[in-house]
Amino acid sequence: MDTNNNQELHHITAIVENRPGVMQRVASMFSRRGFNMDNLSVGPTDDPKYSRMTITVKGDPSILEQVVKQLNKLIPIIKVRELPLFESIERELGLIKVKAQKPEARNEITQYVEVYHGTIVDVTQDSMIIEVTGDPEKLNSFVKLMAPYGIREIARTGVTAMHRGQKAASDSVKQ
């Protein structure tokens, strides 16, 4: 729950036809209806005919209901499902470039990377790029720890999520 504006985050997964223009149609629907996507991640499924979207929206249950109804009306969308937070796993990948000119700073940053189970993916004379994967709170926490060293750049993938257990977003997709 976001305490600033009392609106809940909702994750929606959609199985869509894997063809050009699908993401644009989804974005247009959001724009036309005045909905805001907090996050969108898209990637292919195990079947190359389909892609899977994870969409995060902020709002009350009525907003969620309207978003799901409108998504279900779009032709390239095969299946839409809400991912209740307590029934799903969410992850995000972040690349964080930090200043690291002094050996002491490099050593401290390396220790933080180990604690957060991250990976140093690039090192130059004056900076390091660190890859961290986890839930958004973990990434936010790591970014706060890196701030005193001087963050040069951040790239985050956005949340992707999946049902726990046997449920799958692609259940009952017509093949």
- Taking only the tens of pLDDT, the chain with its 175 residues reads 334 455 788 999 999 999 999 989 999 999 998 888 999 999 999 899 999 999 999 888 888 899 999 999 998 899 999 988 888 899 999 999 999 989 999 999 999 999 999 999 999 999 999 999 999 999 999 999 999 999 999 999 999 998 888 777 777 665 4
pLDDT (0 to 100) of residue 174: 52
Q: Which residue range is the domain that position 70 belongs to?
A: 8-83
Taking alpha carbons only, the member of 93, 87, 86 closest to residue 134 is 93
Domain boundary among 25, 50, 83: 83
CATH of the domain at 143: 3.30.70.1150
- Give the CATH number for residue 29: 3.30.70.260
The answer to whether residue 172 is domain-embedded is no
Global pTM?
Answer: 0.79
In the prediction, which pLDDT does 95 show?
A: 98
If DSSP states are collapsed to H, E and C, what string results for the chain?
CECCCCEEEEEEEEEEECCCCHHHHHHHHHHHHCCCEEEEEEEECCCCCEEEEEEEEEECHHHHHHHHHHHHHCCCEEEEEEECHHHEEEEEEEEEEEECCCHHHHHHHHHHHHHCCCEEEEECCCEEEEEEEECHHHHHHHHHHHHHHCEEEEEECCCEEEECCCCCCCCCCCC
Number of domains, the chain: 2
Q: Report if residue 68 sits inside a domain.
A: yes
Residue 4 is predicted with a pLDDT of: 46
Question: Is the same domain home to 76 and 102?
Answer: no
